Amino acid sequence: MTPQPSFSLAGRRALITGAGRGIGRAIADVYAQAGAEVWLCARSADEIDAAVTELRGAGHKAHALVGDVTDVPGFAAAVAALPGLEIFVNNAGANRPKPQLEVTEDDFDAIAGLNLRAAFFALQAVSRKMIEGGRGGSIINMSSQLGHIGAAHRTLYCATKWGIEGLTKAVSIELAPHGIRVNTICPTFVETPLTQPYFEDPAFLDHCLSRIRLGRLGQVGDITGAALYLASEASSLMTGSAMMLDGGWTAG
């Protein structure tokens, strides 16, 4: 009989950035329930402290790591001080939607600085930690359907997410000899506190629903299954790939 794939994360340690709310928080919850010891990283101490308290109250191993991923040396030092890592979700990100002709240098520096520059160096810090640990690992870069297509008013965001897709493919080649896999998750529009204001515009909401072939917006629960799969041994042959969770948007 063919063995059932294992989605257990028992005995593994996971770091999730942007874990104060939304997708990052949901992934941390699911990883903890799957047996991982989790570190929730965000700038918002109150949010991650509350999350850690809740997880510990449910009997899980969880820790708060207050920090800003755009502080490259500070984040690298925090990662170096951890006992070890086998799972990393490179999730922190932001957006400032506007027409390309209205994008300012401040917009560019803020969004590219977080979505691409900080993500690159966060991945670098964790790669070093995983190589040092010698146990292999799984790195999940949070990308987007907009890392594969274009969209009006999202030129800057698209540029950063296409960059993440290229980074993922390249670094997966470098890290494969160390047993470290690197993949992306590419959601469509997901209802979170960050995105909720977008959907208050009926025209934008109608546009999204017309392109998402399954006829609904994404929910954080739609993302956690993919995140668990990529972190677990069930995806042990998958690296340098993108998981499209777009409800059929990019299908055409």
CATH number at residue 68: 3.40.50.720
d(CA 225, CA 30): 9
Residue 198 designated active-site: no
Classify residue 200: in a domain, yes or no: no
Classify residue 210: in a domain, yes or no: no
> pLDDT tens-digit profile of 100-150?
999 999 999 999 999 999 999 999 999 999 999 999 999 999 999 999 999
Classify residue 212: in a domain, yes or no: no
Residue 31 designated active-site: no
- Beta-carbon contacts of residue 199 (< 8 Å; ≥ 6 apart): 189, 191, 205, 208, 217
Pairing of β 37-42 and β 62-66: parallel
> Annotated catalytic residue: which of 129, 161, 169, 198?
161
Classify residue 205: in a domain, yes or no: no
- Beta-carbon contacts of residue 61 (< 8 Å; ≥ 6 apart): 32, 36, 37, 38, 55
pTM for this prediction: 0.97
Classify residue 103: in a domain, yes or no: yes
Classify residue 159: in a domain, yes or no: yes
CB-CB contact of 195 with 168 (8 Å)? no
| Residue numbers of the chain with a pLDDT score lower than 70 | none
Classify residue 6: in a domain, yes or no: no
> Annotated catalytic residue: which of 98, 157, 169, 229?
157
Count of CB atoms situated within 10 Å of the CB of 244? 21
Domain extent at residue 155: 13-192+219-247
